[in-house]
């Protein structure tokens, strides 16, 4: 049985030089494919570097809302560099991009600007986007439904347990990617949200090194723990684990066109 971890940050400094070794051991640990998303220029470059060393490793490039510069001119420069990085053939998406009002609210307009510009870039390049969304439900829905929607089926990463957002995502033909929080005992309405998502739209991810699933909370997360997330979602959907692994693997291949 092999799993596909659609979102894992081996480009994060918490992995440092261990990343190469861990990626080489993925296959023997039951992980048949992963995507390493960038969150700024440097981490996007590192994601490409790691992907180029390993056949089953793919990557995405983009500027996370917490990593955007403080003027539209400088954001344009960041995006210009991202545009250059797309040329690498292991790049399968633009991300992670989006809005995050949890850490800062004083640059909302710049966050929206960077998000929309990167959706534009993805549409022009015919790539899916990987969306990060936190504490910004209405603005996120407004942008995606009224201003600019991704043209390729895209991904709502680390699925927020928000009914409206997931409903909107499904309307836009998105894939919904479940991460560690789906295993947490205090995850309100996680079960209801999982049930809303049709089989052919489910993805799984670790978002490592963050958000370890139960029973690893407090430890550094990595892709091998994606099976605990798979187990939980498969159980809610009432699908045998082996079948669920295959299903989510195929979904990942479809959305990333690999």
Nearer to Ni ion, 95 or 150 (CB): 95
Please work out the total of residues on this chain that contact Ni ion, with binding judged by CB under 5 A: 1
Nearer to Ni ion, 40 or 251 (CB): 40
Name the minimum Å distance from CB 7 to Ni ion: 6
Nearer to Ni ion, 158 or 202 (CB): 158
Q: Are 95 and 59 in contact (CB under 8 A)?
A: no
Residue span 8-47 as binding mask against Ni ion, x where in contact by CB under 5 A, dash where not = ----------------------------------------
Name the minimum Å distance from CB 189 to Ni ion: 22
Alpha carbons 44 and 127: distance in angstroms, whole number: 16
From 26-34, 174-182, 199-207, 228-236, span contacting Ni ion (CB under 5 A): 199-207
Alpha carbons 24 and 38: distance in angstroms, whole number: 20
Decide: residue 39, CB within 10 A, 0-12 exposed, 13-18 middle, 19+ buried.
buried
Name the minimum Å distance from CB 88 to Ni ion: 19
Alpha carbons 107 and 101: distance in angstroms, whole number: 9
Q: Write the CB contacts of 114 (distance below 8 Å, at least 6 apart in sequence).
A: 63, 65, 68, 75, 78, 79, 97
Of 34, 49, 2, 16, the C-alpha closest to 130 is 34
Name the minimum Å distance from CB 240 to Ni ion: 29
Name the minimum Å distance from CB 37 to Ni ion: 6
Footprint on residues 203-222 left by Ni ion (CB under 5 A):
207
Binding site for Ni ion (CB under 5 A): 207
């Amino acid at each position: 049985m092999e799993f596909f971890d659609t979102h894992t940050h081996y480009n994060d400094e918490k992995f440092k030089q261990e990343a190469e070794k861990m990626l080489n051991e993925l296959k023997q640990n039951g992980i048949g494919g992963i995507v390493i998303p960038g969150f700024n220029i440097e981490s996007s470059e590192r994601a490409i570097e790691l992907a180029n060393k390993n056949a089953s490793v793919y990557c995405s490039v983009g500027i996370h809302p917490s990593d955007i510069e403080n003027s539209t001119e400088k954001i344009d420069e960041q995006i210009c560099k991202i545009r250059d990085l797309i040329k690498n053939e292991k790049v399968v998406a633009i991300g992670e991009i989006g809005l995050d009002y949890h850490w800062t609210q004083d640059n909302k307009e710049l966050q929206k600007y960077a998000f929309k510009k990167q959706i534009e870039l993805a549409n022009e390049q015919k790539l899916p986007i990987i969306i990060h969304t936190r504490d910004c439900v209405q603005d996120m829905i407004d942008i995606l439904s009224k201003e600019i929607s991704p043209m390729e089926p895209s991904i709502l990463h680390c699925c927020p347990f928000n009914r409206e957002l997931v409903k909107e995502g499904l309307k836009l033909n998105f894939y919904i990617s479940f991460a560690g929080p789906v295993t947490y005992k205090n995850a309100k309405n996680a079960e209801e949200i999982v049930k809303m998502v049709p089989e052919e739209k489910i993805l799984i991810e670790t978002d490592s090194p963050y958000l370890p699933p139960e029973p690893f909370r407090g430890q550094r997360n990595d892709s091998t723990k994606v099976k605990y997330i798979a187990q939980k979602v498969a159980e809610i959907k009432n699908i045998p684990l082996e079948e669920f692994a295959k299903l989510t693997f195929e979904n990942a291949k479809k959305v990333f066109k690999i």
